[in-house]
Structure 1
Amino acid sequence: MVQGVSEIAAMCVGLIGLIGAAATTGMPMWKVTAFIGENIIVMETRWEGLWMNCYRQANIRMQCKVYDSLLFLPPDLQAARGLMCCSLALSGLGLLVALAGMRCISCFQGNDWAKTIILFIAGGMQLMACVCVFIPVSWTGHTIIRDFYNPLLIDAQRRELGEALYIGWVTGGFLFASAMLFLCRHMPSEKGSYDVYHPAPSKPTLMRYHPISSVSISSYNSRVHQNKKKKKKT
């Protein structure tokens, strides 16, 4: 009963993590314009994401432009794209694999060993998806903080942490929790595979020796005494 509840909880938490990873990948709010200094026009906001740049001014609709060339992008942005896509693929496949290992699914019914192995694989995939989310989000956050305090950059080139980074960190936490719920379980032993019959050692039987009764001893002594008397008479 407890394992069934933990499996359902792991699926729900993993689904939330998958949705969060998709939102983090698609949102353009990775880097946001930093409103510092007196000469910056505060009515204009610039967002930089993995796939596009967006501009928004007061009373004007937001305009977004997709990056023209993939090879022209910096290496950190290309790596962030690849890792986030890997996270989506691993999390989605992990949830699909976990469906086959759940107790409420008829697949592999009655084989607890196989179901546990499947859940272990799903948990490993969720854990790798968690790592693939944390690396680009933390890397981008470190770059933004480093450039913000760089005295060689002007104020217009500084950026702040966007909403997508915070969603990415929360998403990584959900994926990690889902992985732990899948992995924290006991490994059952497969019936008929490792059971070896050991015969119980036979206990040595103790032979009981009945003591000679006092009647038989007295009769034996009397016979011996009579034989001695006969020998003396002769």
Structure 2
Amino acid sequence: MDPVVEVVALVLGFVGWVMVGVALPNRYWKTSTVDGNVITTSTIYENLWMSCATDSTGVHNCREFPSLLALNGYIQASRALMIASIVLGSFGLVGGLIGIQCSKAGGENYVLKGRIAGASGVFFILQGLCTMVSVSWYAFNITQNFFDPFYPGTKYEIGEGLYIGWCSAVLAIAGGVCLTCSCKLAKEEKYPVAYQSRGTVYSGAAPSRSAAASTYGRNAYV
């Protein structure tokens, strides 16, 4: 594969990995605005770790979720998937730095470097899938509660943290696919060693013993 394409794919994977780190602590995974007069208007927003509120005067109050086991299942799963996404992206980034052709880290064995680049591409794809599942599952619960007329709690809308997560997933998957295509599955070609003979080689059927003897006698006495 073209080294330029590998570098672009690695950059896409790196940007996607960075955006996962930005989306995970982002406070605005879901937001809700409670309208009232100028004094009572407030905004409530949550992420995977805490719930916050701010009023029209700019005062912020945040409360971390007290118990992990008391959380909803999708929040626990989203936490695990986002953390797994960061870990997989780290492996993909290290493998990509070793496996691309313009890197000197892996030596001159380009077949091995291609396979390392392909493995790093798989890690980036898994990172993107984990991020996509996490943010999509979280967004599904937001929209489900928002459009449920019998839902008694606060109705939230999709926050900016989810959009960052979606962009991260797309970039990671795109970079991973490009790196996976650079994997060289073919084995090294084995070239036969050319045989060099010192004498003259004649092709054809070997003469019989009697014919060889008669020829020898004729040549010897002529």
TM-score category by the smaller chain?
Answer: 0.7 to 0.9
How far did 1:177 drift? 1.0
RMSD (Å), alpha carbons: 2.5
Partner of 2:174: 177
How far did 1:186 drift? 5.9
Partner of 1:230: none
More divergent stretch after superposition (23-32 vs 41-50): 41-50
How far did 1:185 drift? 2.6
**CA 1:198–1:132: 2 relative to 1, 3 Å:** same
Q: Is the 8 A contact 2:116 2:183 kept in 1?
A: no
Mapped pair 1:195 → 2:194: no
How far did 1:104 drift? 2.4
Partner of 1:119: 117
Aligned-residue sequence identity (percent) comes to: 27
**CA 1:85–1:25: 2 relative to 1, 3 Å:** same
Q: Is the 8 A contact 2:128 2:173 kept in 1?
A: yes
Q: Deviations over 1:56-85 (max 9, x none)?
A: 111133222221111111111000000000
SS in structure 2 of the partner of residue 47 of structure 1: strand
**5+ long unaligned stretches in structure 2:** 195-202, 205-222
Q: Is the 8 A contact 1:34 1:158 kept in 2?
A: no
**TM-score of the two chains, using structure 2 as the length reference:** 0.79
Distance (Å, rounded) in 2 between the aligned partners of 1:12 and 1:42 = 46
Q: Is the 8 A contact 1:44 1:55 kept in 2?
A: yes
Deviation above 4 Å: which 4+ runs of structure 1? 196-199
**5+ long unaligned stretches in structure 1:** 206-234
**In the TM superposition, what are the counterparts of 1:26-175 in structure 2 within 5 Å?**
26-34=25-33, 43-154=41-152, 157-175=154-172
Partner of 2:22: 23
How many residue pairs get aligned? The number is: 195
**TM-score of the two chains, using structure 1 as the length reference:** 0.75
How far did 1:190 drift? 4.0
Q: Is the 8 A contact 2:33 2:42 kept in 1?
A: no
Q: Is the 8 A contact 1:87 1:130 kept in 2?
A: yes
Q: Is the 8 A contact 1:45 1:56 kept in 2?
A: yes
How far did 1:108 drift? 2.8
SS in structure 1 of the partner of residue 24 of structure 2: helix
Distance (Å, rounded) in 2 between the aligned partners of 1:142 and 1:34 = 19
How far did 1:197 drift? 4.5
Q: Is the 8 A contact 2:24 2:82 kept in 1?
A: yes
Distance (Å, rounded) in 2 between the aligned partners of 1:197 and 1:104 = 30
Which of the two has higher C-alpha Rg? Answer: 1
